[in-house]
């Protein structure tokens, strides 16, 4: 890993740069595939599935028989673990429900806000070397709590044309209404435009590689909303001598094994801890099945020493990590001061893995610095806030004059007339 000591604020942006390609490198490919899927539907989806996933798919939709086979293939132990995680995710997200907000702004003017579910949502679930069945829980559970009517799930097939059994089991358990064997750019394009088999949705959720991230951003140009720009995974740990070096190393490696373009960073006020963590990383790395992937990610990562907590906090807020672990003797300082982070994990016994799977919080989070302006997925992500107002004769008399004056000042005479006519009717007793 790259060790950096006392970097000046002027160098932070360069030091904290993410190891990602620019959008320009990817956008041309994404646009080309979008155009073809929009024009040719399932035919284009099948073409790119064959090209990128190396498999020909006759039927894109997963059948009931395939789901039953998958359910039988998942071990009892894993089913119990998934159920525990589902229960905790349900508890945390159900607690986020809010009641109708109502107020009488002035006598006779009632205003209220209600939340209604987004009717059609699409879930993108990465497959490949790490089939993220946990992401099914993170997205389908709150979607059901919110009351979404259609939950469409796309996930790339393996070389045999199958989706990982655990993904199918979780999808079936969580009430997904349609499951498709399609991944990558073509999946996002299909959910954006709709095809003969794949429904068009109103909002797309889920993480993915850089191609999926750009595809989701392009989808917004065609009237489809997305959860956030969620790309390669990242983790920043702030730790001092109160932290356990082996724990810190394990957390850094847990993110590094996601993909070669993942990034992990340790910020510390202790050179001793940095050295100990570096040593532990090398020891633990040797035992990892995904060692080659983790090694490449580690090459993009940093061990940063700073003199004090305030400098550390300023640097962390500049970076805006997706995942942020706090393990110091001054945890409250960081908890109170953090402004830009997707999800925060506190103390020696709170690994980032807990949030990935079973603590109850959502693991679909903003990356690439988007934690500065995006929230992670939560119950509100699956709803829309709608406002209502009801005005009585007393109410229109109380605010009518102000509306007339303001409308006239903006040169919108019809707006003024809409009030004037009503006030005249009340005055005339009609």
Q: What is the pLDDT of residues 320-374, one digit of tens each?
A: 999 999 999 999 999 999 999 999 999 999 999 999 999 999 999 999 899 999 9
Does 375 show up as a binding residue in the annotation?
no
Neighbours of 4 (CB within 10 A): 16
In the residue annotation, 323 being an active-site residue is answered as: yes
CA distances from 58 to 39, 47, 157, 172, 321 (A): 19, 11, 12, 22, 41
pLDDT at 261: 85
Give the H/E segment covering residue 390: strand 383-391
Residue 52: exposure state from Cβ atoms within 10 A (0-12, 13-18, ≥19): middle
Q: Per-residue pLDDT tens for 283-296?
A: 999 999 999 999 99
pLDDT band at 72 (very low <50, low <70, confident <90, very high): very high
Quick one: DSSP state of residue 61? B
pLDDT at 18: 86
Rounded percentage of the chain residues whose pLDDT exceeds 90: 90
Does 209 show up as a binding residue in the annotation?
yes
pTM tops 0.85, yes or no: yes
pLDDT at 210: 82
Q: Which two tokens stand for residue 123?
A: 């879930």
Chain-wide mean pLDDT for the chain? 95
> CA–CA separation, 260 vs 424, rounded Å?
71
With a cut of 70, say whether residue 20 has pLDDT above it.
no
Instruction: Tell me what the mean pLDDT of segment 242-269 comes to.
Output: 95
> CA–CA separation, 163 vs 158, rounded Å?
6
The residue from 234, 257, 323, 363 that is catalytic is: 323
Where along the chain do its domains lie? 2-19+232-360, 23-231, 392-427
pLDDT band at 19 (very low <50, low <70, confident <90, very high): confident
With a cut of 90, say whether residue 259 has pLDDT above it.
no
pLDDT at 190: 98
pLDDT band at 209 (very low <50, low <70, confident <90, very high): confident
Q: Per-residue pLDDT tens for 39-68?
A: 999 999 999 999 999 999 989 999 999 999
Confirm whether 2-19+232-360 and 392-427 share one CATH topology.
no
- pLDDT: is 2 or 77 the higher one? 77
What phi and psi values does residue 114 have, to the nearest 5 degrees? Answer: -130, 150
Query: Considering only the top CATH level, what class is 2-19+232-360?
Result: alpha beta
pLDDT at 323: 98
Q: Which fold has domain 392-427?
A: 1.20.5
Q: Which of 160, 164, 207 shows the shortest CA–CA distance to 187?
A: 207
Does 233 show up as a binding residue in the annotation?
yes
Neighbours of 304 (CB within 10 A): 26
In the residue annotation, 363 being an active-site residue is answered as: no
The residue from 66, 322, 352, 363 that is catalytic is: 322
Does 124 show up as a binding residue in the annotation?
yes
Quick one: DSSP state of residue 359? S
Does 356 show up as a binding residue in the annotation?
yes
With a cut of 90, say whether residue 106 has pLDDT above it.
yes
With a cut of 70, say whether residue 22 has pLDDT above it.
no
Q: What are the strands, taking DSSP E only, across 215-336?
A: 225-226, 234-239, 263-268, 302-305, 323-327
Weakest-pLDDT range from 218-232, 242-256, 276-290, 400-414: 218-232
Paired residues of 111 in beta bridges: 103, 389
In 3-state terms, the chain is what percent helix, strand and coil (to 5)?
A: 50, 15, 35
What does CATH list as the number for 23-231? 3.40.50.1980
With a cut of 70, say whether residue 23 has pLDDT above it.
no
pLDDT at 21: 56
Cβ–Cβ under 8 Å, residues 430 and 422? no
Dihedral of the alpha carbons of 179, 181, 187, 193, in degrees to the nearest 10: -60
Q: Which two tokens stand for residue 273?
A: 């801890």
Does 104 show up as a binding residue in the annotation?
no
With a cut of 90, say whether residue 9 has pLDDT above it.
yes
């Amino acid at each position: 890993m790259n060790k950096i000591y006392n970097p000046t604020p002027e160098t932070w942006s360069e030091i904290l740069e993410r190891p990602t390609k620019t959008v320009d490198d990817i956008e041309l490919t994404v646009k080309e595939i979008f155009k073809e899927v929009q024009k040719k539907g399932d035919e284009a989806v099948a073409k790119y599935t064959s090209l990128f996933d190396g498999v020909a798919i006759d039927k894109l939709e997963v059948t009931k028989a395939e789901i039953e086979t998958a359910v039988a293939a998942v071990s009892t132990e894993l089913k119990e673990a998934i159920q525990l995680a589902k229960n905790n995710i349900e508890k945390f997200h159900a607690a986020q429900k809010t009641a109708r907000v109502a107020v009488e702004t002035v006598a006779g003017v009632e205003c209220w806000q209600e939340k209604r579910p987004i009717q059609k949502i699409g879930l993108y679930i990465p497959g490949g070397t790490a089939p993220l069945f946990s992401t099914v829980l993170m997205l389908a559970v709150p979607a059901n709590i919110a009351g979404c009517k259609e939950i469409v799930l796309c996930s790339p097939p393996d070389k045999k044309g199958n989706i990982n059994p655990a993904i199918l089991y979780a999808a079936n358990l969580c009430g997904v209404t349609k499951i498709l064997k399609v991944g990558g750019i073509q999946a996002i394009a299909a959910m954006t435009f709709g095809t003969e088999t794949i429904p068009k949705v109103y909002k797309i959720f889920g993480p993915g590689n850089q191609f999926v991230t750009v595809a989701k951003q392009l989808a917004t140009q065609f009237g489809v909303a997305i959860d956030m720009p969620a790309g390669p995974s990242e983790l920043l740990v702030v730790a001092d001598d109160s932290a356990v070096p082996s724990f810190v190393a394990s957390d850094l490696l847990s993110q590094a094994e996601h993909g070669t373009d993942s990034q992990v960073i340790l910020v510390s006020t202790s050179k001793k801890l940095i050295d100990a963590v570096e040593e532990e990383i090398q020891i633990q790395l040797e035992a990892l099945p995904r060692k080659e992937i983790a090694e490449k990610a580690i090459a993009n990562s940093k061990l940063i020493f700073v003199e004090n907590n305030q400098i550390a906090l300023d640097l962390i807020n500049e970076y805006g990590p997706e995942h942020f672990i706090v393990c110091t003797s001054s945890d409250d300082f960081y908890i109170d001061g953090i402004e830009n982070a997707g999800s925060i994990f506190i103390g020696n016994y709170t690994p980032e893995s807990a949030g990935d799977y079973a603590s109850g919080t959502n693991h679909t989070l903003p990356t690439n610095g988007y934690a500065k302006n995006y929230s992670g997925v939560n119950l509100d992500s699956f709803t829309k806030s709608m406002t209502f107002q009801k005005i009585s004769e007393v109410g229109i008399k109380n605010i009518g004059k102000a509306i007339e004056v303001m409308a006239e000042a903006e040169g919108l005479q019809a707006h003024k007339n809409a009030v004037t006519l009503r006030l005249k009717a009340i005055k005339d007793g009609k």
